[in-house]
Chains A and B, each alone.
Chain A
Amino acid sequence: MTTPADIPVLEAAAVTKHFPVHGGQHRGRVVHAVENATLRLYRGRIVALVGESGSGKTTLARLLALLYPATGGEIRLNGQPVRRRSARAQRAYYRSVQLIFQDPFASLNTTHRVRYILSRPLKTFASNRVKNEDIDRQVHRLLERVSLTPTTEFIDKFPYQLSGGQRQRVAIARALAANPLVLLGDEPVSMLDVSIRLDILNLLGRLRAEEDVAILYITHDIASARYSADEINVMYAGQLVEGGSSEAITQAPRHPYTRLLLDASPDPDRAESDNPGGLSEDDPGEPPSLTTPPTGCRFHPRCPHAMPVCSTRFPDRTDFGDGQWTHCWLYSGQPT
């Protein structure tokens, strides 16, 4: 699976993010939201970031979008480290990297028509002054790209006149208006009705193929990640624990947490073979507090295979040669 660009267009290199706690019993401590995470996005590929709520996946996306400064590590765009220096450099960055939010009811300004919503980024990011007719033509073109056709039917609507799926299409069109290299989708379908989620996922798939953008798809639903992404990264309590091709991660998971996540996911085919009555009472526990995270591998308190070393050191990365990798002592050779 080699794409023309083997250089990642956007990369989080060993990025760490700690948030200070300002009040309450943990005052003065920090929330260890993302720890030493490396994630690479390539043109024409969808990379999924999967994890439970609170695992740090949104924080990682916001670091990539430059909404927060990283505590450690760096963000690289086209191989170049990004620094939040001037407003101008930041604007150039925002043009290349666009976010799509979870809630299209909140992310679109309710007092403006679609035409205005889409023409703003066209004007903001235009290299020189553009004529209004040109803007108008481009707005129509954007609507076509997200399949809101006939475009004349949608261009003068207000967000409240659109369904959830149509609104999310407008949000995607607005992101495309900047002509970005990267789209960061933070749970872009989880607020939508079940029957229209696929349409949006298929739209993202089409943008990947036709427009050659790099897409990050953040989700808690590993089945939808398998469906739409080329590659899946699994995050737990701020640490990336496993990554690889979508098929490898879902069919041959290595890390115990990935296995737990797959076992827990709804799977109607499972009901066919083994009886759900075989449900065990085993309590898989809950994710840890990130102000006082467990030492070593943060999954060790819940891990059925935990060894003494797991609570002392976070394991190095083990590569399996086919692109799959994990951070787990089970595969790390013999710890000393």
Chain B
Amino acid sequence: MTTDLLQIKGLSVEYDGDRPVRAVDNVSLTVRRGEILGIAGESGSGKSTLVTAVTRLDRPPARVISGNVLYQAEGREQVDVLALSRAEMRVLRWEHVAVVFQSAMNALNPVMRLGTQFADVLKEHRRLRRAEAWLRAGELLELVGIPADRVRSYPHELSGGMRQRATIALALACEPELIIMDEPTTAVDVVMQRQILRRAINLKRQLGFAVVFVTHDLSLLVEIADRIAIMYAGRVVELGGARDLYRDPQHPYTRGLRDAFPPLHGKRRTLQGIGGSPPDLRRPPVGCAFHPRCHAAFTPCREHQPPKIPVGDREVACWLHDISKAQVHEPHPEAVQ
């Protein structure tokens, strides 16, 4: 059995319009069994577009231009998610891949009791009878620290934190191998965020599912993820082990993003933001999309998009790491150390 659960290969997604916007541009990523893969990026970096395309929850005007998404369920043939029929997709979605969204209020039906919503899924995918399904719903809620008798509650009767935990319980209903969490804690405050993450990580340990965790908060991701992919303007600019990437970022954008979070401890000193603004993807810059904001930019950055370059066990899309180019141009020393 391979360790690769999900392989995204050369995926590009565009939003149609007068000027099509390439929100995800030739992204390749692999999710390994049982790992937490973090995807960090600012708004507009394409991280949410990426996960909606991968789970086929994208809606027009979003359109997949190219690429494959290969999913290897345990003991099954590898399938291309983008080529599955609707019926096959229904099976894949709850039983293999589940999604937790930012807004629990929108993910739960406000006029149905929690138990009914769980039972819908369990009756369809697990062939449980009503009474069994409600019982199981209670067990699932207890997994995330909500008393089982809350199955009879409506979503509005729960606090924001409880609702978000309920959507995680719902995602666990069919014991999926992969849970995609798209900014699952952005709408709750830090104390609740911490508690939700603790639950989720402990459940991951018990049940062994893999997680793709999407967020704009790199400092949070470093604490929980095994590997992190940094996205900028629709591309993965750096991919590596979470601690390494944080300790020693190789892409100037990763470095800037890391330094944009003031530390809680240690010396207080003035930090500099990255400067400038993320690019308008209707008119993306020529060459590397980050070059207008990059203090280390040199000639090739303005001309060609950098390929993914292996640096140790990391992948970095930056010309500074291309020996043939970088040697000639002597980049900014701070950026390559």
Interface set of A (CB-CB < 8 Å, partner B): 52-53, 163-166, 193-199, 201-202, 205, 220-224, 226-228, 246-247, 250-251, 260-272, 276-277, 279-281, 283-284, 286
Residues from chain B with Cβ under 8 Å of A195 in the complex? 42, 256-257, 260, 273-274, 278
Q: Which of B42, B190, B193, B247 counts the most chain A CB atoms within 10 A?
A: B190
Q: How many interface residues does B have (CB within 8 Å)?
A: 49
Question: Shortest distance in angstroms between A212's beta carbon and chain B's nearest beta carbon?
Answer: 19
Bound-state CA distance A186–B24 (Å) is: 34
Give the residue of B161, B199, B257, B277 whose beta carbon is less than 8 angstroms from that of A163.
Answer: B277
Q: CB distance B191 to A260 under 8 Å?
A: yes
Bound-state CA distance A166–B278 (Å) is: 12
List the 9 shortest-distance A-B pairs measured between CB atoms, nearest first: A227-B262, A198-B273, A264-B194, A266-B220, A163-B277, A52-B189, A268-B222, A199-B273, A279-B198
Residues from chain B with Cβ under 8 Å of A283 in the complex? 145, 195
Residues from chain A with Cβ under 8 Å of B247 in the complex? 272
Interface set of B (CB-CB < 8 Å, partner A): 42-43, 145, 159, 161-162, 189-195, 197-199, 201-202, 205, 216-220, 222-224, 242-243, 246-247, 256-257, 260-266, 268, 270-275, 277-278
Known A193-B43, A271-B243, A286-B159; contact A198-B272, beta-carbon cutoff 8 A? yes
Question: Shortest distance in angstroms between B124's beta carbon and chain A's nearest beta carbon?
Answer: 31
Bound-state CA distance A143–B240 (Å) is: 41
Q: CB distance A266 to B268 under 8 Å?
A: no
Q: CB distance A269 to B266 under 8 Å?
A: yes
Give the number of residue pairs across the A-B interface with Cβ within 8 Å: 134
Residues from chain B with Cβ under 8 Å of A251 in the complex? 265
Residues from chain A with Cβ under 8 Å of B43 in the complex? 193
A-B contacts besides A193-B278, A267-B264, A277-B201, 10 pairs, CB < 8 Å: A194-B218, A196-B277, A222-B264, A268-B223, A271-B243, A272-B243, A276-B223, A277-B205, A279-B197, A284-B191
Residues from chain A with Cβ under 8 Å of B216 in the complex? 193-194
Residues from chain A with Cβ under 8 Å of B194 in the complex? 263-264, 284
Residues from chain B with Cβ under 8 Å of A164 in the complex? 277
Give the residue of A165, A194, A271 whose beta carbon is less than 8 angstroms from that of B257.
Answer: A194
Known A52-B190, A222-B264; contact A268-B246, beta-carbon cutoff 8 A? yes
Known A165-B277, A279-B197, A281-B199; contact A267-B268, beta-carbon cutoff 8 A? no
Bound-state CA distance A286–B158 (Å) is: 11
Q: Name B145's closest neighbour in chain A (CB-CB).
A: A283
Residues from chain B with Cβ under 8 Å of A277 in the complex? 201, 205
Question: Shortest distance in angstroms between A128's beta carbon and chain B's nearest beta carbon?
Answer: 39
Residues from chain B with Cβ under 8 Å of A250 in the complex? 264-265
Q: Name B189's closest neighbour in chain A (CB-CB).
A: A52
Q: Name B265's closest neighbour in chain A (CB-CB).
A: A269
- 16 A/B residue pairs, CB under 8 Å, sorted by A: A194-B260, A195-B42, A195-B273, A205-B270, A224-B262, A227-B271, A246-B268, A250-B265, A263-B194, A264-B191, A265-B264, A279-B201, A279-B202, A283-B145, A284-B191, A284-B195
Q: CB distance A194 to B42 under 8 Å?
A: yes
Residues from chain B with Cβ under 8 Å of A265 in the complex? 190, 264
Q: CB distance A196 to B274 under 8 Å?
A: yes
Q: CB distance A52 to B191 under 8 Å?
A: yes
Q: CB distance B224 to A276 under 8 Å?
A: yes
Q: CB distance B201 to A202 under 8 Å?
A: no
Bound-state CA distance A198–B273 (Å) is: 5
Q: Name B217's closest neighbour in chain A (CB-CB).
A: A266
Q: CB distance A226 to B262 under 8 Å?
A: yes
Residues from chain A with Cβ under 8 Å of B270 in the complex? 202, 205
Bound-state CA distance A221–B223 (Å) is: 17
Bound-state CA distance A166–B192 (Å) is: 32
Bound-state CA distance A194–B257 (Å) is: 7
Residues from chain A with Cβ under 8 Å of B42 in the complex? 193-195
Q: Which of A166, A220, A264 counts the most chain B CB atoms within 10 A?
A: A264
Q: Name A283's closest neighbour in chain B (CB-CB).
A: B145
Q: Name B197's closest neighbour in chain A (CB-CB).
A: A279
Residues from chain A with Cβ under 8 Å of B265 in the complex? 250-251, 267, 269
Bound-state CA distance A266–B220 (Å) is: 5
Bound-state CA distance A205–B202 (Å) is: 41
Q: CB distance A276 to B201 under 8 Å?
A: yes
Q: CB distance A198 to B271 under 8 Å?
A: yes
Residues from chain A with Cβ under 8 Å of B263 in the complex? 223, 267, 269
Bound-state CA distance A219–B291 (Å) is: 32
Q: CB distance A264 to B190 under 8 Å?
A: yes
Bound-state CA distance A202–B220 (Å) is: 23
Q: Name B274's closest neighbour in chain A (CB-CB).
A: A195
Give the residue of B191, B271, B272 whose beta carbon is less than 8 angstroms from that of A261.
Answer: B191
Residues from chain A with Cβ under 8 Å of B262 in the complex? 198, 201, 223-224, 226-228
Bound-state CA distance A95–B224 (Å) is: 47
Residues from chain A with Cβ under 8 Å of B272 in the complex? 198, 202
Bound-state CA distance A260–B194 (Å) is: 10
Residues from chain A with Cβ under 8 Å of B278 in the complex? 163, 193, 195
Residues from chain B with Cβ under 8 Å of A202 in the complex? 270-273
Bound-state CA distance A303–B157 (Å) is: 24
Give the residue of B198, B222, B273 whose beta carbon is less than 8 angstroms from that of A281.
Answer: B198
Bound-state CA distance A12–B250 (Å) is: 48
Residues from chain B with Cβ under 8 Å of A263 in the complex? 194
